[in-house]
Amino acid sequence: MKWWDDLWLNESFADCMAYICSSSCIENGTIDKNYKSPWSMFFLDKLWCYPQDERPTTHSVKAEVTNTEMAKLAFDGITYTKGAASLIQLYRLIGAETFSKGIDRYFQKYKWKNATFDNFIEMFKRYVKDENPDSAKNLDNWKKDWLETAGLSQIQAEWDPTNESSTAYLKIYQTSCLEEFPCNRFIKVQVALFDENGKVTEIKDAIINKSTTTIDYDGSKKPKAVFPNFGDQGYVKVKLDDDSKSFFSKNIQKIDDELTRAGIWWSLSRGVTDGEVNPLVFIESAIAGLQFEKENSLMKLIEYITEISANYLTNELRLNMSHRLFGVLIDLLLKT
């Protein structure tokens, strides 16, 4: 970088490539498949960033830095993690091969030199020639939406679980979390539908538009719930629809994938803070779900329980829940 306003790229690129390379090593067998999923670890990193991006003090990833004192303020979750998530979005949007070509050309041209973000993005424009202003792959728009616009957006599915047509469809609505920070953007995600046993019936690759996105699915498979950020591919807050919220609260233990459960737990917990999920219902589900989690996921679920108990329960209920939580944790420790 030539100046501190590109500090985000220095930090975010390192995180981005660490997760992408670790994931590739697991896929090609260089690292044992039993190794902790790098995407699960990245999800935990994003939990550091999301609250910062949802506050009135949020800021864009790339910001003007006029002096070195201002540069010190740039070291936060938005600089590191949202910046990395934005680059990973670019990676998913244009594909691994094109992303690798752009990175290789960038390194070859600017090795042993200082470079700027504009130099960085110009290397990708050689391979992604989409000038349509309404396209998700227009890199000028991507730069503006992801790096120069502050704020967190949220998505929610609208669908009819009683529609058993093989040509059913659902809609994904995107809105900004804060009215004062409108930030709807194109987001590459996977939308998953789950049956009554918690098994995935379909996974739909989708680019979420800036307002409403329509996605077809097979209703004859009788899905009971929708999660519109399967695999945590998008940097976005998920608001669960009422049917999915009810299903996941009662059946999350049926879902095999740890990363999927982590995303759902987070969405349910944020539903409590948004006044859309009963805190007692969440805590009951979470305490019952502790036995199915491990390591960082277990610790994060305990954190959700204690945070929500402290902030949303009466003293009497909080004491009761504390005793129950203690008992469950003791049982889990004795079983290890």
pLDDT digits (tens, 9 = 90+) for 40-55: 999 999 999 999 999 9
Looking at per-residue pLDDT, the higher value among 30 and 174 belongs to 174
Spell out the alpha helix ranges (H) of 221-314. 242-251, 258-273, 279-289, 295-312
Give yes or no for a contact between 151 and 161, defined as CB atoms under 8 angstroms apart: no
Separation of alpha carbons 147 and 141, rounded Å: 10
pLDDT (0 to 100) of residue 114: 86
Mean pLDDT of 272-298: 93
Q: What φ, ψ does residue 194 adopt, rounded to 5°? A: -125, 140
pLDDT (0 to 100) of residue 71: 67
Mean pLDDT of 227-243: 96
- In one-letter notation, the amino acid at residue 313 is L
Of the candidates 196, 201, 172, the one whose C-alpha atom is nearest the C-alpha of residue 184 is 172
pLDDT digits (tens, 9 = 90+) for 158-215: 999 999 999 999 999 999 999 999 999 999 999 999 999 999 999 999 999 999 999 9
Looking at per-residue pLDDT, the higher value among 249 and 71 belongs to 249
Give yes or no for a contact between 153 and 176, defined as CB atoms under 8 angstroms apart: yes
Q: Which two tokens stand for residue 210?
A: 């800036």
Mean pLDDT of 240-267: 95
pLDDT over 80 (residue 30): no
pLDDT over 70 (residue 282): yes
pLDDT over 80 (residue 2): no
Contacts 24+ apart (CB under 8 A), 270-273: 270/237, 270/239, 271/239, 271/240, 271/245, 272/308, 272/312, 273/308
pLDDT over 80 (residue 227): yes
pLDDT (0 to 100) of residue 329: 93
pLDDT digits (tens, 9 = 90+) for 56-102: 999 999 877 777 777 666 678 898 899 999 999 999 999 999 999 99
Separation of alpha carbons 229 and 263, rounded Å: 8
pLDDT digits (tens, 9 = 90+) for 101-159: 999 999 999 988 888 889 999 999 989 987 787 889 999 999 999 999 999 999 999 99
Of the candidates 157, 189, 186, the one whose C-alpha atom is nearest the C-alpha of residue 173 is 157
194 DSSP assignment = E
pLDDT (0 to 100) of residue 33: 65
Q: Is 129 exposed, middle or buried (0-12, 13-18, 19+ CB in 10 A)?
A: exposed
pLDDT (0 to 100) of residue 34: 66
Separation of alpha carbons 160 and 151, rounded Å: 30
DSSP helix/strand/coil, 85: helix
pLDDT (0 to 100) of residue 295: 87
Task: Compute the residue count for the chain.
Answer: 336
Give yes or no for a contact between 169 and 158, defined as CB atoms under 8 angstroms apart: no
Separation of alpha carbons 123 and 332, rounded Å: 52
Find where tokens 């469950």 sit. Answer: 328
218 CB contacts (<8 Å, ≥6 apart)? Answer: 166, 167, 168, 201, 202
pLDDT band at 1 (very low <50, low <70, confident <90, very high): low
- In one-letter notation, the amino acid at residue 135 is S
